[in-house]
Chain A
């Protein structure tokens, strides 16, 4: 059963991921979500990447 994530939690993970500042546990968690096709994760991440790139 997949864990449910709040928008806030996904934004947190995406923001820290874009900054390359996730700890290993969060890094694994977020990359797993991306790999599973989390659309909100991708959208949030793309927006944050545009800020820092």
Chain B
């Protein structure tokens, strides 16, 4: 695990924790062009990319059927979409497919976009996350969290080729999630599987945001503690 400068969730540059292979994938995808050409101190300003200011207008135009607006939006955001898909899937082909799916979805669903509910970038990343997670194979991330979160995920039949280690791993994850409180599970579910932000979760659960923050903080700490034997075993 190396510390590198990467495109961040907000679309600008920061320090990340990509593994070398993941970093190479991002570089191969052309994302090195977003790397800093100036002093790291210049990056501390963290102003949004200028084009983001126009993304909501572009989405409005896409909703009217303007193909050129979709093209401009694609040029401005596709690398962010791809980077997120790649992070979730760790698969170049899958990330490319997700990117195409997301922009296809934008073409068809732009009319439903509501700026008051989420910023353009947040909406794009939410679509990306949803698409990418849908593509995750059984036994990966979805199984790690979904099965015990009480959401609509089919229970997978054990693969006959699944190793003893994988079975133990799955059991450990399921046990860990089962030890979360219902509120903690629900809040994490809404963040992770539905892409809601902290304020959106608070609205959805009709709870003060401070309460939601506590649920998620304690839930994540508990998962981290319970899963630490698993992570240590992988190193």
Contact = CB atoms under 8 A, between A and B. Distances in A.
Contacts of B196: 21
B1 interface: yes
Contacts of B43: 35
Contacts of B231: 50
Contacts of B191: 16, 19-21
Interface string A9-38: 001100111111111101110011011100
Nearest to A32: B46
Interface stretch (B27-35, B53-61, B94-102, B220-228): B220-228
A37 to B, nearest CB: 8
Contacts of A26: 198
B15 A51 contact: no
Nearest to B19: A53
Interface of A: 8, 11-12, 15-24, 26-28, 31-32, 34-36, 42, 45-53
Contacts of B40: 35
B17 A51 contact: no
B129 interface: yes
Interface string B191-220: 110011111010000000000010011001
B141 A32 contact: no
A11 B217 contact: yes
Interface residues of B, number: 38
Main secondary structure of the interface of B (DSSP, over half): helix
Interface stretch (B6-14, B62-70, B109-117, B156-164): B6-14
B224 A31 contact: no
Contact of A19 (B12, B122, B125, B188): B188
Which 3 A-B pairs rank lowest in CB-CB distance, beginning with the nearest?
A21-B191, A15-B220, A19-B191
A52 B3 CA distance: 18
Contacts of A16: 191, 198, 213, 216
Given A15-B216, A31-B8, A31-B46, A21 B197 contact: yes
A51 B227 contact: yes
Nearest to A52: B192
B165 interface: no
Contacts of B198: 16, 21-23, 26
